[in-house]
Amino acid sequence: MAPYLFLCLFLFFPHLYASFSSSGSHSCSSLIQFKDSFSITEDASSYCNEIAGHKSYPKTNSWKEGTDCCSWDGVTCDHLNAHVIALDLSCSWLYGNFPSNSTLFLLPHLQKLNLAYNEFNLSEIPSELGRFTSLLYLDLSSTGFVGDKHALEGLVQNLTEVRHLFLDGMEMASVNAHVFMNLSSSLRSLSLAGCDLQGKFPNNIFDLPNLNLLNLGNNQNLNLDPLKLNRSSNLEHLDLSWTSFSTEFIDSVDNLQALKSLGLSGNFFFQGLSVSITNLSSLEQLIISGANFFGGLPDSVGNLVSLKFLDLSYSNLSGPVPKSLGNLLQLTHLDLSGNQLSGQIPRSLGNLLQLTYLGLWQNQLSGQIPRSLGNLLQLTYLGLWQNQLNGQIPLSILNLTQLEYLRIAGNTLKGSIPDEVTAFPNLISLDLTNNLLSGQLPSWLYTAPSLKDIKLSQNQFSGHIKEFQSKSLELIALENNKLQGPLPSSIFQLLNLTQLSLSSNYLSGVIEFRMFSNLPNLESLDLSYNSLSLTSNTTSTVNLTRLFLSSCNLSEFPQFLKGLKSLESLDLSYNKIEGKIPQWMQEVGNDSLTYLNVSHNSLTEVEHFPWKNIDVLDLSSNLISGNLPIPASTINVFLISNNSFNGEVSSLICNAAFLEILDLSHNNLSGTIPQCFGNLSNSLLFLNLKKNKFYGTIPPTFAMGCQLSNFNLNGNLLEGPLTPSILNCNGLEVLDLGNNKINDTFPHWLGSLPRLQVLVLKSNQLHGSLCVNSSKSIPFFSKIQIFDLSSNYFSGPLPVRYINSFKAIINLEKIGSTVSYMGVNDDGGDFYTYSIGIVMKGQDRELVKIFTMWMIIDLSNNQFEGGIPKVIGKLNLLKGLNLSHNNLNGGIPTSIGNLTSLEWLDLSSNRLSGAIPNRLADLPFLSSLNVSENQLHGKIPQGKQFNTFGNDSYEGNKGLCGFPVSKGCNIIDPPPPNVLEKDGSKSNIAFGWKVVMIGCGCGVVFGMSVGYVVFQTGKPKWLVNLVENQHEKRRRRKSKKGNRSSRRRRI
């Protein structure tokens, strides 16, 4: 028998081998042709590293003709018959159009096909994929395929055996989600993330008995009908991020008891974390980022004891961090950042011994950093920045030897950084910027072997910078501290250093700039505002792109600039550089320079600007004269204020179509304002022409879509009315037309500008009444904070309706942060801020920055008449009120005593009468008062701030008495009264009205009785004669007066 079997095998094997060889050869040939239909480009798989986290490489480079394709990279064969059954070319750099007749379709035995993360250039998904009837696994994610409706329908109908289908990132905007209704009941994984699917997703997908993974994330136009999830579902992974689903769906999610991963980010219909979610005891990963919870995190979150990954960042969570989070002992990743959580960090977080990532930044957490965080020995990332944490950094933080990223910037931490020479051996990045930390820099900072980034700016560190032993440093930012002494020589040996920022310290000594040539990777250098001196007579070979040497005692343009051909930003401001910009500077960053600041020097001449791509140019505060040079059309910010430029402004400046900030203030420029500025307003945000000699009219036309937020023409010779087209500038915040010759009535229509905060029209020839005749309840100047109409010819009563509309001053509208300035950028920078001139406490002041809390009304030097309205007492946030030099009469309203923020009050040179209200003495911040030259009388209030005012505050009021004027009141102060006036103030009379009436009654009765006796008896005679003589004199005067009146009538 054995010989017979051997003979059969001997005869059969050659035929079998020939069959295998033929099949394998055919498959290999098809694969080679498939490979040749594409080019190899690394960019085609760029998403692989960014999204998938896999390393990409060209797998098909190993495919060679004449070799066994079953050994090729990405190819798997059936060992029994040599059929190609699996092809994995994900992340393989394939680029090109996918041919509809591709030789790939000649591999009918394929069971697995993965072409993810290549680029097929918007090719339509081939319907021929339906030929792979044995296909169990298909992944076409991020391949650039476009999902055609008919092709997808054919794919779904023919791939009846498919178990795993991944089509993430495939463009399906024209496909209705119902195309997936008839998927195989064998399906285990379905991923359609980021496909731009439309319409309603079929509910029956959730009933597929074997479905284990469903990912529909990032399909914002996809809707899920309300449905109750099946309790028998085997679903373990569900991602519905950035889709639309109902709260009913969320409430039934606890039926998915097998669920391990749940993603619901980007949903705006949450009313807090549903209890049904916290009942999922098997849940290991929960991601709900970018939602709108608008509520607190429930304690029941502590029930998710299997949780390993929790991300609830940027979801409008408020309230405290639940202590119950300390129950989640399996947790490795906790991210609650970007919310509004408050209170202290719970100590229970120290129980999470498996935690590797803790993100609590950008909240409102307060108190100290708990020592228990030192228990988290596996922690690699700790992010607590931008909170309200205080106290010291706990010593226990030194226990975190695995820590790679420590970020606690933007708090109010104080004290020194915990120090231990061997601390943080794995630390890569340290950021403690913007705190109150002090003391010397810790010793481990110089030795940490893995440290790349040191960010300790804006603290109070002192002492010397010591020698760095670590060579891994790439970034050192120590600006705005109190560090002193010379730069350590080791800095010039940090070969990986790309950024060095040491500005605003007390560093001293001489630096040879050529030493920076030792740092081949250095890109940014900032040595500004120290006591350093730079020397070098040679051209630099440093490859710098950003160089900041403000206030470095430079007296000329340094020679080392000549070699900086790639420079993008250069700051030489606040030095002592004289003369003109040298010719060779034209070669410095000729094609690359975008930022140049040479302000606050003594430059006298600028010929032209050679830099082709200049974006920001600051020449302000120099001695430059001559005609205004025109910058490149690329200019975005052009600042030349405080110079001596003269002549007219050429309309060529309007060729700068991207100009946002133009400051020509404080020069000798003349002529008319170019009319094209009105068209430029589509890009202009700031236009400052203050203190020049411009004449004529204000530009008559501001284009629709005007972007102006600050318009300043103060201190020129402009005439004529203000054009209503400025209403096109909806974002206007500051309008300053003061100190011109504008002759017009008040432009009431300005009140409809929705963001106007500062209006200055002082020292013009404006006239008429400020009363508004319109009966409409239009909100006038609701955002106004500074309202200055002083030194004009306005008349009539004070504008009660306007005062009632000043909602920002009344505190009915939010006015922003109390520590910010108008005009500051959103990122907090103060590159260019609003400025304005005001009269403050009787003195002319130039506010270089306008604090957002300034609230000022100045209507002085006009012809207003009538009384001061009581409604002025509603302006709760008012800091300065000046109504001086008008014709106001009546009393000072007691309601001014409500203005608890008031710092100065000037009512001088009017016709005010009555007493100074005692309530003014209770104003806590009033530091300047002037009521001189009125008709006030009575006792000056005493106590608190009033004890600091001098005689000049009251002079010209003959009826005032008491300190500090020389006139005494000669009135003994009565004991405390027990009666209230109508306005609620205490009466000065020491007894009640009943007592007064009783006394008067008795006096009348007694007087009448005595009179009767005297005239009846004629005694005493001297009293009778006295009364009779006085009576005769009155009779004669009356007779003469009657005669004179009679003569006038006859004449």
Distances from the Cα of 666 to the Cα of 100, 141, 661, 733, 742, angstroms: 70, 61, 16, 21, 20
Over the stretch 663-716, which tens digit does the pLDDT of each residue have?
Answer: 999 999 999 998 888 777 788 899 999 999 999 988 878 888 889 999 999 999
Mean pLDDT calculated for residue range 397-420: 96
CA distance 904 to 508: 44
Determine the pLDDT at residue 814: 52
Mean pLDDT calculated for residue range 202-226: 87
What is 260-367's CATH superfamily? Ribonuclease Inhibitor (3.80.10.10)
CA distance 913 to 905: 16
Determine the pLDDT at residue 459: 98
Distances from the Cα of 28 to the Cα of 82, 125, 273, 557, 930, angstroms: 10, 24, 55, 68, 99
- Higher model confidence: residue 291 or residue 5? 291
Strand (E) or helix (H) holding 158: helix 149-158
Backbone angles phi, psi at 493, to 5 degrees: -115, 5
Determine the pLDDT at residue 430: 97
Mean pLDDT calculated for residue range 1036-1051: 40
pLDDT over threshold 80, residue 229: no
Determine the pLDDT at residue 829: 42
- Higher model confidence: residue 171 or residue 838? 171
Mean pLDDT calculated for residue range 923-950: 93
Give the pair of three-digit tokens for residue 913: 């009468």
Give the pair of three-digit tokens for residue 506: 């007390």
DSSP per-residue string spanning 450-492: T--EEE--SSEEEEE------S---EEE--SSEEEEPPPGGGG
Among residues 900, 924, 914, the alpha carbon closest in space to that of 868 is found at 914
Determine the pLDDT at residue 779: 66
Among residues 536, 624, 530, 519, the alpha carbon closest in space to that of 574 is found at 530
pLDDT over threshold 70, residue 130: yes
| Helix (H/G/I), strand (E/B), else coil: 558 | coil
Mean pLDDT calculated for residue range 738-754: 93
| Helix (H/G/I), strand (E/B), else coil: 601 | coil
Determine the pLDDT at residue 979: 36
Give the pair of three-digit tokens for residue 310: 């929790």
Determine the pLDDT at residue 80: 84
CA distance 674 to 37: 61
Mean pLDDT calculated for residue range 353-364: 98
Strand (E) or helix (H) holding 335: strand 333-335
Q: How confident is the model at residue 252 (pLDDT cuts 50, 70, 90)?
A: confident
User: β-pairing, 317-320 with 213-215?
Assistant: unpaired
Are the CB atoms for 596 and 618 separated by under 8 Å?
Answer: yes
Ramachandran sector of residue 884 (left: φ over 0; alpha: ψ -120 to 50; beta: rest): beta
Over the stretch 549-568, which tens digit does the pLDDT of each residue have?
Answer: 999 999 999 988 988 889 99
Strand (E) or helix (H) holding 736: strand 734-736
- Higher model confidence: residue 619 or residue 267? 619
Rounded to two decimals, the pTM is 0.80
CA distance 115 to 52: 13
b/e map 392-422, b = 16+ CB within 10 Å: ebbebbbbbebbbbbbbbbbebbeebbeeee
CA distance 57 to 42: 8
Q: Where are the domains of the chain?
A: 33-171, 260-367, 369-535, 998-1022
On the CB side of 855, CA atoms within 13 Å amount to 24
Least trusted range by pLDDT, from 8-22, 165-179, 275-289, 1006-1020: 8-22
Mean pLDDT calculated for residue range 377-390: 98
Are the CB atoms for 451 and 470 separated by under 8 Å?
Answer: yes
pLDDT over threshold 60, residue 503: yes
> Would you tell me how many other CB atoms lie within 10 Å of the CB of residue 435?
24
Domains 33-171 and 369-535 fall in the same CATH topology = yes
Determine the pLDDT at residue 953: 94
CA distance 336 to 363: 9
CA distance 253 to 242: 17
CA distance 186 to 188: 6
Angle between helices 1021-1050 and 993-1017 (to 10 degrees): 100
Determine the pLDDT at residue 1032: 47
Ramachandran sector of residue 290 (left: φ over 0; alpha: ψ -120 to 50; beta: rest): left
Average pLDDT, the chain: 85
What stretches of 848-942 adopt beta strand conformation (E)?
856-858, 863-866, 880-882, 887-890, 904-906, 911-914, 928-930, 935-939
CATH domain 369-535 topology: 3.80.10
Q: How confident is the model at residue 285 (pLDDT cuts 50, 70, 90)?
A: very high
> Which residues, at least 6 apart from 892, have a Cβ–Cβ distance to it below 8 Å?
868, 907, 912, 914, 916, 917, 920, 931, 936
| Helix (H/G/I), strand (E/B), else coil: 257 | coil
Least trusted range by pLDDT, from 144-158, 166-180, 183-197: 144-158
On the 0-12 / 13-18 / 19+ scale of CB atoms within 10 A, 965 is middle
Q: How confident is the model at residue 5 (pLDDT cuts 50, 70, 90)?
A: very low
Least trusted range by pLDDT, from 340-354, 524-538, 966-980: 966-980
Determine the pLDDT at residue 1006: 46
> Which residues, at least 6 apart from 863, have a Cβ–Cβ distance to it below 8 Å?
793, 794, 795, 886, 887
In this structure, is the dihedral angle defined by the CA atoms of residues 383, 387, 392 and 394, taken in order, positive or negative? negative
pLDDT over threshold 90, residue 269: no
Backbone angles phi, psi at 42, to 5 degrees: -60, -35
User: β-pairing, 75-77 with 84-88?
Assistant: antiparallel
Strand (E) or helix (H) holding 152: helix 149-158
Q: How confident is the model at residue 223 (pLDDT cuts 50, 70, 90)?
A: confident
Q: How confident is the model at residue 267 (pLDDT cuts 50, 70, 90)?
A: confident
Least trusted range by pLDDT, from 122-136, 194-208, 819-833: 819-833
Determine the pLDDT at residue 943: 86
DSSP per-residue string spanning 282-320: T--EEE--S----EEPPGGGGG-TT--EEE-TTS-EEEE
Among residues 333, 271, 278, the alpha carbon closest in space to that of 303 is found at 278
Determine the pLDDT at residue 255: 81
pLDDT over threshold 70, residue 657: yes
Are the CB atoms for 949 and 935 separated by under 8 Å?
Answer: no
CA distance 585 to 581: 7
Residues paired with residue 485 on neighbouring β-strands, in sequence order: 507
CA distance 985 to 893: 13
Among residues 913, 916, 914, 915, the alpha carbon closest in space to that of 929 is found at 916
The amino acid present at 711, given as its one-letter code, is F
Determine the pLDDT at residue 849: 62
CA distance 247 to 267: 10
Give the pair of three-digit tokens for residue 518: 């030792």
| Helix (H/G/I), strand (E/B), else coil: 623 | coil
Determine the pLDDT at residue 147: 79
Over the stretch 31-78, which tens digit does the pLDDT of each residue have?
Answer: 999 999 999 999 999 888 777 778 899 999 999 998 999 999 999 999
Over the stretch 777-802, which tens digit does the pLDDT of each residue have?
Answer: 566 899 999 999 999 999 999 999 89
CA distance 358 to 368: 16
Are the CB atoms for 284 and 309 separated by under 8 Å?
Answer: yes
What stretches of 527-587 adopt beta strand conformation (E)?
531-535, 546-548, 569-571, 578-580
Determine the pLDDT at residue 776: 58
CA distance 558 to 568: 17
Mean pLDDT calculated for residue range 883-910: 96
CA angle 830, 831, 834 (to 5 degrees): 70
CATH domain 33-171 topology: 3.80.10
Determine the pLDDT at residue 750: 92
Are the CB atoms for 381 and 357 separated by under 8 Å?
Answer: yes
Determine the pLDDT at residue 272: 64
Determine the pLDDT at residue 852: 63
CA distance 542 to 495: 12
